[in-house]
Amino acid sequence: MADTRTLTITLGAGNFKFVELTPERTVYGVGEAVKVTYRVRNDGTSKTGAKVTVTDTDTGAAVTTYTIPALDPYTPTTPYTYLAELVTVGAMPNKNWNLTFALTP
């Protein structure tokens, strides 16, 4: 049987809001590519971009970052101002991996 580890994801605070943050699965073999789908919206008052920063919660080390292009502010009358992405975060390390996803302008 393959050596597997568990993936845990925590959300950080920011001006953008995660509408969805879903790992492809929560158990990975060591060295397997960890993939996550995220969908965000702009809860601010002006059209702006943001950055997703993925951090190893246990060590505080940055794992990776993603740039989000400028999105119009979300309103109930413009509900489709979202960005959705499937990203590869990195290779599963030889430990249970606790990640924090934070959005910043």
Write out the H or E segment, with its range, that includes residue 34. Answer: strand 33-42
Pair of tokens at residue 99? 């990640």
Mean pLDDT, residues 15-21:
81
Domain count, the chain: 1
The DSSP call for residue 45 is S
What is the percent of the chain with per-residue pLDDT over 70, rounded to a whole number? 88
CATH code, domain carrying 78:
2.60.40
DSSP state of 76: T
What average pLDDT does this structure show over 24-50? 88
- What SS3 class is residue 12? coil
Nearest Cα to 15, choosing from 66, 58, 74, 64?
74
Could you list the residue range(s) of the whole structural domain that residue 83 is in? 4-104
Say what the pTM is: 0.80
**Which residue carries 């605070």 as its tokens?**
13
Show the CA angle centred on residue 86, arms to residues 71 and 28, nearest 5°. 145
